[in-house]
Amino acid sequence: MPPTSDEPVRGGVASPAPGSSPTGIAPSAPRSRTARSRRRRGGGWAPYGFLLPGFVVYAVFLLYPLGRAVQISLYDWDGLSLATFVGLANYADVVTDPALRDAFAHALVLIFFFSVLPLGIGLVLAALLTRARVRGMAFFRTVVFLPQVIAMVVVAVAWRQIYAPDGQLNTALRAVGLDALTRTWLGDYTLTLPAVGFIGTWVSTGLVTVLLMAGMARIPGELYEAATLDGAGPVRTFLSITVPSVRAEVVVALTLTIIAALKTFDLIYVTTSGGPGTSTTVPSYEVYRRAFELGEVGSAAAVAVVLTALIFLINVGVNRIGERER
C-alpha cells in the first residue's frame, strides 16, 4: 500500500513539501521580479530629472532676484554709493511710517474694487449669459471680456480723460441735470481712490465673468430641471445650484484679482501718481518712488518683500478656505 502524504517514505526520508526545493533550501525570488524592483528604485529620480530644467529657470529668474531683494532690504543704500547694514530697520519703517501704512491700507481697499465687487457682478452676468437663450450671446461675451485685452496704460489714459473736469462723465451728468454731482474726480481727496478702484472693477469683471461661465457650462442641466420641478425660483436656483457648483472658479478668480489689486502700479502711476497728496498711494508705487525718486533702495526693497509676503499669505488663506468648503 503506497504511503499517504502524512507518512514518510521508505528509508526515513520525508517527501518534499509542495512548492519547496528538493534540497530543502527555499527557492530564490524570480530574477525578473528582482530586476523590476531595481529598475523601480533606480527610476525614482527620473521625474526630478524632467523637473530640473524648469526649476533652474524658476530659481534663476525668480528665487535669486527675490533673495537679492531680501538682502538689499537689510541695507541703507541709495543705489550708487556704498551700502550700510541696518538690519531690520527698513522693515520697522514699514510698520511705523504713516505713509507706508496708508499705502497698504489703500491696497486693501482696492481689493474690494478689484476682487469682491467684480465677483458679485461676474456671478450675475455669467449666470445670465450662460442660461439666457438670446441671440447674440457671443457678442456680449466678447464685449464683457474686452477690457482684459487692452493694456492697462491705455485703460488708465482713457479713464483719465473720462474723469477730467470737462470729460465725458461730467458732461453726461450735466446733460441729465445733475450738475451738483460734477467734480474733479481725480482731484478729490475722498473720491479719488474709489474712482480709481472703479476702473479696476471695470477691468476685472470681464475676467471673472469668463472664468465663472466656464464653470457654469459644466453644470448638468438636469439639476436645474429638478429644481424647477421642486418649485425653486431663479434666485433659489442660483444660490443653491449655481454658486456652489463654481466654488473652484471663484477661488481662481479671487486669487488672480487679489494679486492684480495688490500689485497694481501702472494704473496709479498714469491716473493720479499717488495723489492728490498721498490719497491713492499703494505699495507698488511706493517701491518705485522710494527707489527711483528718493534714492532709498533698501527701503523700497523692504516694501517689496513685505508686499510679496502679504500677497502670498492672502492667497494661501483664500485657497485654504476654498478647499475647506469643498
Query: CB within 8 A of 5, min separation 6: which ones?
Result: 15
By the 10 Å C-beta count (0-12 exposed, 13-18 middle, 19+ buried), 195 is classed as buried
Q: What is the pLDDT of residue 324?
A: 72
Q: What is the pLDDT of residue 207?
A: 92
Q: Is 75 helix (H, G, I), strand (E, B) or coil?
A: strand
Q: What is the pLDDT of residue 217?
A: 87
Q: Which residues of the chain have pLDDT under 50?
A: 1-3, 5-13
Q: What is the pLDDT of residue 53?
A: 92
Q: What is the pLDDT of residue 325?
A: 62
Percent of the chain past pLDDT 90, that is, above it, reads: 62
Q: What is the pLDDT of residue 18?
A: 53
* Distances from the Cα of 166 to the Cα of 119, 161, 172, 202, angstroms: 32, 8, 10, 21
Asked whether 160 and 186 are in contact (CB, 8 A), the reply is yes
Asked whether 113 and 200 are in contact (CB, 8 A), the reply is yes
Grid coordinates standing for 258? Answer: 487679489
Structural element, H or E, at residue 200: helix 192-216
Query: CB within 8 A of 304, min separation 6: which ones?
Result: 69, 73, 283, 287
Asked whether 225 and 235 are in contact (CB, 8 A), the reply is no
Q: What is the pLDDT of residue 312?
A: 93
Q: What is the pLDDT of residue 221?
A: 86
Q: What is the pLDDT of residue 304?
A: 95
Q: What is the pLDDT of residue 27?
A: 53
User: Other CB atoms closer than 10 Å to residue 66's CB: what's the count?
Assistant: 14
Q: What is the pLDDT of residue 33?
A: 58
Q: What is the pLDDT of residue 8?
A: 47
Percent of the chain past pLDDT 70, that is, above it, reads: 86
Q: What angle (nearest 5°) sits at the alpha carbon of residue 323, between those of residues 147 and 209?
A: 20
